[in-house]
Each structure stands twice: as structure tokens, then as C-alpha cells.
Amino acid sequence: MMGLGTLINTACVVAGGLTGRLAGRFFKETQQAALTMVCGISVLFIGIAGAMEGMLTADGAVLHSGQAMFIVLCLALGTLVGELLRIEEFFERFGEWLKQKTGNARDKSFVDAFVTATLTVCIGAMSIVGAIQDGILGDYSILAVKSVLDFIIIAVMTSSMGKGCVFSAIPVLLLEGSVTLLSRLIAPVMTEAAIRNLSLVGSILIFCVGLNLVWGKKVRVANMLPAVVLAVLAAYLPAGLLG
């Protein structure tokens, strides 16, 4: 069944949010703060692992790093585009709309929780590659693995940040569902090089989400999202042009 992976992933995000919401009631404020810190540290290392996988190459016992110019250009140009388009404001306005429509107008942390959770579970190659594979082959194995990870992440986030995290299921459904439906059009674009670039830049953005969790919101990560698109497009430039 085409789209089953998206439905499973969405359901797991909701289930994780509900689990975290129930568990969070038993935690004191200091314990919730500690969970937020732990979640942030975990997200940081997930981002670091993905970024290092894309930047480091092994030559025998020696490690070499690369892609520096590629990363700088993608992030700088992508962030400039995002700032001009005010993507972060769009996410926040949508979060405010959800807050009002779901009867959570008094929840001061709702929007921040929604935006942070959305960026954490939506950025990355697993969402795109998994949805394409689901759409073309009917194989939802990648999204099934992602669903388990998202369940755990959202459960911890919800227990510490609040119910806004549960509603990250909506962007997951829209993103993965759209990619699944358009998979036959998107698949030729997502070459092996494009997926590597997407994973590298996406991992750096995930790292930035972790920064915000640990040290408070200092990076407008949503405004950096165009960098992911530029990373995919860069795969079609002549080899070695970006270092």
C-alpha cells in the first residue's frame, strides 16, 4: 500500500507525543528541564554523526576532512534566502494558529515546542528517501525505522517541552505524504550525490536544533531550510567545484 510508511510515521509521532504527555505529568519542573537538556545533547550528537559521515573520508589509518566550501556556501546562501522568505515566521504563525484552534491558547511553550519538534523529525535524508522508496516500491522499511526513532524523540521532547511537540505529526504527514505522491517525479533528481549532500546539510541543521535545545533559541533553523534544497542542486555542479 503506497503511503503506509507515512501513516506509520505519523502515528508513531502522535503516539510518542501522547506517551510523553502522560509521562511528563509525573516529572517536576527541574526534571523536565533536565530531560530537555538531555534531548538537546542527543540531537547534537545525531547531527554531529551525520555531518562527520559526510565530511570525513578514510585513507588507511588517516582521516581527511572536506566539503568545507560546500557547507559554507549552502548554509550562507540558504540562510539568506530563508531570511528573505521569513520561513521561521511562517512556522511560528502556523504554530500560533494551531495553538488557538486546538484550545491551547494559554500554553506559552506550545509554538516553540511545535517548531523544534517539527524541525527535528522532518529534516534529514530518511524522510525524503524513505518516502520515495515507499511511493515507488511500496517499501516502507526506512520510514518504519525512522518511526521508532521519532517515537522516542517526540516522547522525550513532549515530556519536557509540552504538547506542542505532538502536532509535529502534521508536517510529517504533509512532507512525507507529498514526497510519496510525487515520488516518481522526485526520484530521478535524488541521485546518490544529492542524497549525500542532503544528509550532510540536513545533519548540520539538526545539530543547530540541538543547540537551541541546550542553550535556548539562538539559531533560526527554519530560515536555514533552503540550504537543503541548494545542497541537492549542488550535486549537479561539476565535480570539485565546491571543494
Q: In whole angstroms, what is the distance from residue 152 CA to residue 149 CA?
A: 5
Yes or no: say if 130 and 175 are a contact pair by the CB < 8 Å rule.
Answer: no
Q: What is the pLDDT of residues 135-168, one digit of tens each?
A: 988 889 999 999 999 999 999 899 988 999 999 9
Would you state the pLDDT for residue 65? 76
Mean pLDDT computed over every residue of the chain: 89
Nearest to 214 by CA among 21, 14, 20, 45: 45
Enter the C-alpha cell of residue 28.
517536576
The predicted pLDDT at position 155 comes to: 93
Measured between alpha carbons, how far is residue 120 from residues 64, 101, 106, 146, 150 in Å?
28, 23, 24, 12, 9
Cα separation, 63 vs 170, in Å, equals 41
Cα separation, 227 vs 35, whole angstroms:
30
Phi first, then psi: what are they for 123, rounded to 5°?
-80, 135
Residue pair 112/189 in contact (Cβ under 8 Å)? The answer is: no
The pairing of strands 56-59 and 62-65 is antiparallel
More confident residue, 176 or 160: 176
Quote the cell numbers at residue 165: 511537540
pLDDT for 131: 92
Helix axes of 125-137 and 192-215: crossing angle, nearest 10 degrees? 140
Binned at pLDDT 50, 70 and 90, residue 242 comes out as low
- Torsion (CA) 132, 152, 104, 217 in degrees, nearest 10: -90
Which pLDDT value is given to residue 220?
A: 92
Q: Give the residues across from 63 on adjacent strands.
A: 58
For the segment 209-222, the average pLDDT, to the nearest whole number, is 88
pLDDT at 132 over 80: yes
Sequence letter at residue 67: Q
Position 240 scores a pLDDT of: 57
Return the higher-pLDDT residue of 11 and 105: 11
DSSP 206-230: HHHHHHHHHH-S-S-GGGGTHHHHH
pLDDT at residue 243 greater than cutoff 70:
no
Residues above pLDDT 90, as percent of the chain:
57
pLDDT tens, position by position, 40-84? 898 899 889 989 888 877 777 776 677 888 999 999 999 999 999
β-bridge partners, 64: 57
